[in-house]
Structure 1
């Protein structure tokens, strides 16, 4: 007996409703979900260290301690640098009140030359507090520090994940025969995430060093802070460059005038756009497997759900979602094509094998009509009869 087929529209609506409920639940526990995802991504990033030690028969305690120590050193260094830099920024911003007033007066005179009334300018400037000039950078730093302030929770999660890493690897190997598609999808997620993190970190460090040198040459205050911001925003797709450029450009405007601001913008465009738009994609290749539109939507979605840490981890979170919902399902080839922007079988997708060409059936040959021999009269020759 044939089972009734569920309408496609009902499946889409139920899936959308389930996604909304799931994302709402994650957002309600964002203070826990953020550190959990961060710990998972960090463990994936340092997994090659554990593999390298395991290949050399290192003791079990070293397989856990070495990756954990590397991650802790990185986290502690980041927390220390950000804490000192944000404190310096908070003390520096109020000192630019006079510069802001001078710029406002220049803007009024310039606008008056174009026929704009001073009342409109005064109304716009009255709602603008110079202490809020760099709120965008401070908000990002505050959100990141908010996650890193849960350092105890992150350390506990890292320790637990490092302890379970070997057992999880054996579990994945044993599941190949039962759920091969799911195992392969999770393994591919780990490989793509690791490659994305490595490439983004290397080129982020290059951009950060060059940005620090350019800002130091232009005498922009706190060049180390803006270099760290450039490194962090390198993990934010599409708009990370703008977030990293705005604070030092505004500070350059207050400290050195329009000329310094324009030089900061030119330096950042020359460094970051060239590296992130032309050089980095050649090394990253198709590791992400997400189209530009999907990447931008994932940035908006995860930033809304998890806050600043969601913007930083938008790509790994999207890769994990794709692995669980799309790559683990062999029948979801076209969904993978829609997400990656490439047709099935073109690099990221999987193309179904073409069916062999059908040959026309052969026409059966008509059997030959048997012939019978009629007996001839006596003395005569037998003649065949059809």
Structure 2
């Protein structure tokens, strides 16, 4: 009637030695995702403050080598701080002044193209009628097209870009305070490396990667701006300096920066010389920007960024949604900061770099050379003397 209990010890489930139940991994992931949503919502709510703060941080990192160079030469720390501060101030003032003047020039020439817009619409109406398109359909299509409104949208976009740098007092104050902190950042990082070496490693990696990215993007942005501006000047496009400046700024926007930069000069080319001139503007822009931004520049940026193309595009979309236009410009440095704080700071999570970084060449293992054994090895000293 009763079954016999199998022989052997009975396994009884026990809790851990500490007496606490471990949290399931799925619950940890869920809690982490919920905390991420809350953090992102908070950043979006304070985007008006976080945007300028991140901009000031990026600019401070970019000019920090000036302070390091002055300190290595034995100069007083305040000389390096003053040099870095003046450099970044001149960059911001020059950029804002150029945008203000160019945007004002664009506002003055837009009314001149109203008659040319009407001529283009009449030509489009005639061409569509020649292809047998219904007259009512032509009227509905042409009436919905207003190129002056499109250019007005472009002007509004430039003004919003100018608004990113409009709060100069706040940014200048941040840069001043960060420059003061930069005088002692080297010694503080040295102390941090002794106390918390992993945190020091993550911050140093972020700073060096960000600095390399900004330097490379600035150099190639200047090259693209000069070539684009010269080509537009030769083709007779109005305001070539403005569009060259726009090319320089959009070079910091990954993946789609070139598309944003080509739209305004292409529209002006359409109004200035018709569809053929617009086509030439697009072709010249495509050749210059494809060769430089898609072939040459990624080879120099890849080592500094360490983020794949897909992650670069996703970071652009994410930071643009969180911080607006400034988030698009600083998408890569901000992603590097998040990567340093969440992944590089912990050796157990650095494996994620393999998934989010670009393709890397795995070095081939070279077999180690096995040294030949000497015939004297292992022999007594008396016999070693007799061998050659």
In the alignment, what sits opposite 2:179? 162
In the alignment, what sits opposite 2:373? none
Deviation (angstroms), 1:111: 2.6
In the alignment, what sits opposite 2:206? 189
Deviation (angstroms), 1:19: 1.8
In the alignment, what sits opposite 1:268? 285
Structure 2: 5+ residue stretches without partners: 1-16, 364-388
d(CA) in 2 for partners of 1:319, 1:134: 35
In the alignment, what sits opposite 1:174? 191
Deviation (angstroms), 1:137: 4.0
d(CA) in 2 for partners of 1:136, 1:194: 34
CA gap 1:332/1:222 in 2 versus in 1, 3 angstroms: same
In the alignment, what sits opposite 1:123? 140
d(CA) in 2 for partners of 1:124, 1:29: 42
In the alignment, what sits opposite 2:377? none
CA contact (8 A) 1:30 1:305 kept: yes
Any idea what SS the aligned residue of 2:68 has? helix
d(CA) in 2 for partners of 1:124, 1:28: 40
Deviation (angstroms), 1:112: 2.9
CA gap 1:141/1:162 in 2 versus in 1, 3 angstroms: same
User: Which piece of structure 1 moves more, 262-271 or 74-83?
Assistant: 262-271
* TM-score relative to the length of structure 1: 0.85
User: Which piece of structure 1 moves more, 274-283 or 226-235?
Assistant: 274-283
User: Which residue of 243, 248, 262 corresponds with 2:265?
Assistant: 248
d(CA) in 2 for partners of 1:136, 1:282: 35
User: Which residue of 121, 140, 144 corresponds with 2:161?
Assistant: 144
In the alignment, what sits opposite 1:98? 115
In the alignment, what sits opposite 2:8? none
Deviation (angstroms), 1:342: 5.0
d(CA) in 2 for partners of 1:175, 1:290: 27
d(CA) in 2 for partners of 1:42, 1:194: 9
Deviation (angstroms), 1:336: 2.1
User: Which piece of structure 1 moves more, 74-83 or 273-282?
Assistant: 273-282
CA contact (8 A) 1:96 1:130 kept: no
Write out per-residue CA displacement over residues 184-243 of structure 1, whole angstroms, 9 at most, x where no aligned residue.
111011111111111111111011111111101000000000000000000000000101
State yes or no: 1:12 paired with 2:4: no
In the alignment, what sits opposite 1:333? 350
Compare CA radii of gyration and give the structure with the larger one: 1
CA contact (8 A) 1:237 1:295 kept: yes
Give the alignment's Cα RMSD to 1 decimal: 1.9
Q: How many residues align?
A: 346
In the alignment, what sits opposite 1:290? 307
Deviation (angstroms), 1:135: 5.1
d(CA) in 2 for partners of 1:120, 1:172: 68
CA contact (8 A) 2:125 2:142 kept: no
Write out per-residue CA displacement over residues 109-138 of structure 1, whole angstroms, 9 at most, x where no aligned residue.
323334433433433443343332235643
Structure 1: 5+ residue stretches without partners: 348-386
In the alignment, what sits opposite 1:73? 90
CA contact (8 A) 2:81 2:183 kept: no
User: Which piece of structure 1 moves more, 256-265 or 122-131?
Assistant: 122-131
CA gap 1:118/1:264 in 2 versus in 1, 3 angstroms: same
